[in-house]
């Protein structure tokens, strides 16, 4: 029996001719990631274990994005610990205030991850880099510690689900709607410890930003990783950006999949995930009058330039509804700069939005948009668990930038057609 894309990558990094689902392997790592929340734990374990140096100063990165710029003394202490560690070990890719971005937008943008890579990160949304044809997955801080020191990690080889993508998205439907539709269809444990593999003729109609959004939320279906077949869109993105030599891994024609789903992009409608799980996906024929207090446009899922352009298209010449707060967070400094040059920030500010420096901020209930008891937020983020964005009796509704912007204008959950 043949191997999937993920299985081929893992076999190559384990020095094996083939692997099978369920097999335990030790694989070489191409990149190890941590942030300001998870890295301090890994650093503490690194010192406890008596390690003296990182395995490769060019293949370890720490990105200060969750509570940066620092929101309090504890956050400042965590960032300082990371800053000191990376300075001591001459870590090349340390990103702090003024240079950082939200990690899962920053690393692809900087060309640090690419096709065929095997990547771990002490953050669950590390699965984002599968958009580039890499195997990438989130791990705990102790695994990050071992990865930093030895450049290796243990894996149980996952089985896979195949998603055959066809068609093209209609106007005002977005990649966020696609992944919410899929999670609504299979459930938050529908891909538990399996690889979600995306291929098909419809991939040509999905931009790299679309793919990064979808791969990012593979973990919300319980997946070990999400991965897209490498095509011309991928190669154009990494051209001149990714400096290391890369290898393209294609699934064998006889690769074994637990399930195969056909996803017709032309049938995807604007979708909203209701509290308190991403699987509670509803289209607008199922949504009534749901008033909101806040709209958040940003995050590692939807803070890229295409996302900001989509929001600006809705907000241009309009104003946020009275009593609603709209917070826009560009995912990286480069996105922020481009949005400024294109006039998007002017559109947001004139519409009554607050525009932030890059940060994870409110997505994890950190800061820059915490909800009070009884408040509702529509957000382009990736999770809507109980208390995710603040008070346990607040509510988060997940949606695309189009829907989040339209809802900010009307003061209730709305699709773009209601304001355009």
- pLDDT, tens digit (0-9, with 9 covering 90-100), for 78-113: 999 999 999 999 999 999 999 999 999 999 999 999
Is residue 106 in a domain?
yes
Is residue 47 in a domain?
yes
Condensed to tens digits (0 to 9), the pLDDT of residues 331-344 reads 999 999 999 999 99
Answer whether 43's CB lies under 8 Å from 234's CB: no
Q: Are residues 408 and 291 in the same domain?
A: yes
Q: Are residues 295 and 180 in the same domain?
A: no
Q: Are residues 287 and 231 in the same domain?
A: no
* CATH for 43: 3.30.499.10
Structural domain tally of the chain? 2
Is residue 161 in a domain?
yes
CA 286 to each of CA 174, 274, 400: distance values in angstroms, whole numbers, following the listed order: 18, 11, 17
Q: What percentage of the chain reaches a pLDDT higher than 70?
A: 100
Q: Are residues 288 and 199 in the same domain?
A: no
Q: Are residues 163 and 282 in the same domain?
A: no
Condensed to tens digits (0 to 9), the pLDDT of residues 401-419 reads 999 999 999 999 999 999 8
Q: Are residues 189 and 337 in the same domain?
A: no
pLDDT band at 270 (very low <50, low <70, confident <90, very high): very high
Q: Are residues 164 and 70 in the same domain?
A: yes
- pLDDT at 141 > cutoff 80: yes
- pLDDT at 1 > cutoff 80: no
Tokens of 172: 């005002």
Answer whether 398's CB lies under 8 Å from 273's CB: yes
Mean pLDDT value across residues 137-145: 97
Is residue 248 in a domain?
no
Q: Are residues 73 and 25 in the same domain?
A: yes
User: What confidence score (pLDDT) does residue 264 get?
Assistant: 98
Is residue 141 in a domain?
yes
Is residue 36 in a domain?
yes
Is residue 175 in a domain?
yes
Q: Are residues 206 and 321 in the same domain?
A: no
Q: Are residues 287 and 186 in the same domain?
A: no
User: What confidence score (pLDDT) does residue 230 get?
Assistant: 97
Condensed to tens digits (0 to 9), the pLDDT of residues 344-391 reads 999 999 999 999 999 999 999 999 999 999 999 999 999 999 999 999
d(CA 9, CA 118): 7
User: What confidence score (pLDDT) does residue 420 get?
Assistant: 84
Condensed to tens digits (0 to 9), the pLDDT of residues 15-41 reads 999 999 999 999 999 999 999 999 999
Mean pLDDT value across residues 208-233: 97
Condensed to tens digits (0 to 9), the pLDDT of residues 189-212 reads 999 999 999 999 999 999 999 999
Place of tokens 């919300």: 220
Answer whether 181's CB lies under 8 Å from 282's CB: no
- End-to-end, the C-alpha distance of the chain in Å comes to 52
Rounded to the nearest integer, the mean pLDDT of the chain is 96
Q: Are residues 26 and 171 in the same domain?
A: yes
Q: Are residues 385 and 302 in the same domain?
A: yes
Is residue 319 in a domain?
yes
User: What confidence score (pLDDT) does residue 282 get?
Assistant: 97
Condensed to tens digits (0 to 9), the pLDDT of residues 301-312 reads 999 999 999 999
- Per the structure, the complete domain to which residue 212 belongs is given by 5-243+253-264
């Amino acid at each position: 029996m043949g191997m999937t894309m993920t299985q081929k990558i893992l076999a190559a990094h384990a020095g094996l001719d083939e692997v099978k689902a369920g097999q335990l392997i030790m694989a070489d790592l191409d990149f190890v990631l941590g942030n300001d929340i998870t890295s301090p734990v890994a650093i503490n374990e690194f010192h406890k274990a008596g390690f003296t140096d990182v395995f490769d100063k060019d293949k370890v990165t720490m990105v200060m994005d969750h509570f940066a710029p620092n929101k309090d003394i504890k956050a400042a202490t965590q960032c300082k610990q990371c800053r000191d560690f990376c300075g001591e070990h001459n870590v090349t890719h340390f990103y702090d205030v003024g240079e950082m971005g939200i990690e899962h937008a920053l690393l692809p943008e900087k060309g640090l991850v690419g096709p065929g890579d095997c990547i771990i990160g002490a953050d669950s949304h590390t699965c984002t880099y599968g958009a580039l044809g890499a195997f990438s997955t989130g791990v705990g801080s102790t695994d990050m510690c071992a990865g930093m020191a030895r450049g290796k990690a243990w894996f149980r080889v996952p089985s896979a689900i195949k998603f055959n993508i066809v068609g093209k998205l209609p106007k005002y439907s977005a990649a966020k709607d696609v992944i919410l539709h899929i999670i609504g269809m299979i459930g938050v444990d529908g891909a538990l410890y399996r690889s979600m593999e995306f291929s098909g003729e419809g991939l040509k109609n999905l931009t790299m930003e679309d793919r990064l959004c979808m791969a990012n939320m593979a973990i919300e279906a319980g997946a070990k990783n999400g991965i897209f077949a490498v095509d011309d869109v991928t190669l154009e993105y990494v051209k001149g950006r990714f400096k290391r030599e890369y290898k393209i891994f294609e699934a064998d024609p006889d690769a074994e999949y637990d399930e195969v789903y056909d996803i017709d992009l032309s049938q995807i409608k604007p979708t909203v995930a209701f509290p308190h799980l991403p699987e509670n996906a509803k289209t607008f024929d199922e949504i009534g009058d749901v008033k909101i207090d806040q709209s958040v446009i940003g995050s590692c899922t939807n803070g890229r330039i295409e996302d900001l352009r989509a929001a600006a298209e809705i907000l241009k010449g309009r104003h946020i509804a009275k009593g609603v707060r709209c917070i826009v967070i560009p995912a990286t400094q480069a996105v922020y700069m481009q949005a400024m040059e294109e006039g998007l920030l002017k559109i947001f500010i004139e519409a009554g939005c607050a525009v932030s420096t890059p940060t994870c901020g409110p997505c994890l209930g950190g800061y820059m948009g915490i909800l009070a008891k009884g408040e509702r937020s529509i957000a382009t983020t990736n999770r809507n668990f109980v208390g995710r964005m603040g008070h346990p009796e607040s509510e988060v509704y997940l949606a695309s930038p189009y829907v989040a912007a339209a809802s900010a204008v009307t003061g209730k959950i709305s699709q773009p057609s209601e304001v355009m």
